[in-house]
Amino acid sequence: MEWTIPIQNLDISKVKITGPNRVQKPMAALSYTDNDLQFSSLSILLPSLAVKSYDTETGRLSLSLNGYQSILNKLNALQTLILNTTHSNHRSWISSERDRSYEDLVSGFQPLVSHGCIHLYCPQSTIGSFNEIQVYSGGAWSCGAISPGLFAAGKQVRVAIRIQGISFHQHHISRVWTGKSRVQHRILTIFSE
């Protein structure tokens, strides 16, 4: 069972970011601590949002935050925390890294939130199925079988996501950080209305 925090209850000051692991693809982990509770990743339940677009080729799902200003502000604050923490620590986190300006980090960062939308990655493993995502649609739960209209523009969906950390892209040969980064996340559940 995965503990998920409704976005309305999320306190950004309780999000912790630790330095990247030293494995093949470095990733700084996000965790959440609330009193005695400690979560090794940050799982968030979003409200029901309208699908703005879905690209079946890339798996990019954009959900509109129109009408949810407080949630947009909270997600922007989380994104700012990620960028500020990365800027403050990138030299110690990635030892071969040169000093980068805040503007360089922002330009190399793939935003989770931009233009009033949250952008998620929801890949299709094969036509009509998704990897291990639980879907509630039409009054029933399923895993893998997705109706073709699930992500039709304007459709209302509610998603639970796990934010694992910040992934730092490395050059495929030199293994040196390219300056690009993104929020590593996974969709856990989709509720379709």
Q: How far apart are CA 18 and CA 142, in angstroms?
A: 35
Cα 161-163-169 angle, rounded to 5 deg: 130
With bands split at pLDDT 50, 70 and 90, how would you rate the model's confidence at 148? Answer: low
Q: How far apart are CA 159 and CA 142, in angstroms?
A: 14
- Contacts with 12 (C-beta within 8 Å, 6 or more apart), sequence order: 74, 77, 78, 81
Helical spans, DSSP H, in 21-167: 69-93, 102-108
Question: Which class for 169: exposed (0-12), middle (13-18), buried (19 or more C-beta within 10 A)?
Answer: middle
Task: Give residue-wise pLDDT tens across range 81-122.
Answer: 999 998 898 888 876 667 788 898 899 999 999 999 999 998
Structure tokens belonging to residue 77: 């604050």
Q: How far apart are CA 46 and CA 29, in angstroms?
A: 21
Structure tokens belonging to residue 84: 């500020």
Residue 165 sits at φ, ψ, to 5 deg, of 165, -160
Q: Write down the pLDDT at residue 78.
A: 95
CA atoms within 13 A on the CB side of 74: 17
Contact at 8 Å (CB) between 79 and 112? Answer: yes
SS3 148: coil
Question: In the chain, count of helices (H) and strands (E)?
Answer: 2, 15
Q: Does position 3 have pLDDT exceeding 90, yes or no?
A: no
Instruction: Tell which wins on pLDDT, 175 or 3.
Output: 3
With bands split at pLDDT 50, 70 and 90, how would you rate the model's confidence at 127? Answer: very low
Residue boundaries of the structural domains of the chain: 5-192
pTM of the complete model beyond 0.85: yes
Q: What average pLDDT does range 70-86 have in this prediction?
A: 95
Q: What average pLDDT does range 170-187 have in this prediction?
A: 84
Q: Write down the pLDDT at residue 128.
A: 47
5-6 and 42-45 beta bridge pairing: parallel
Q: How far apart are CA 1 and CA 108, in angstroms?
A: 35
Q: Which amino acid is at 10?
A: L
For residue 161, give the nearest of 180, 134, 138 by alpha carbon.
134
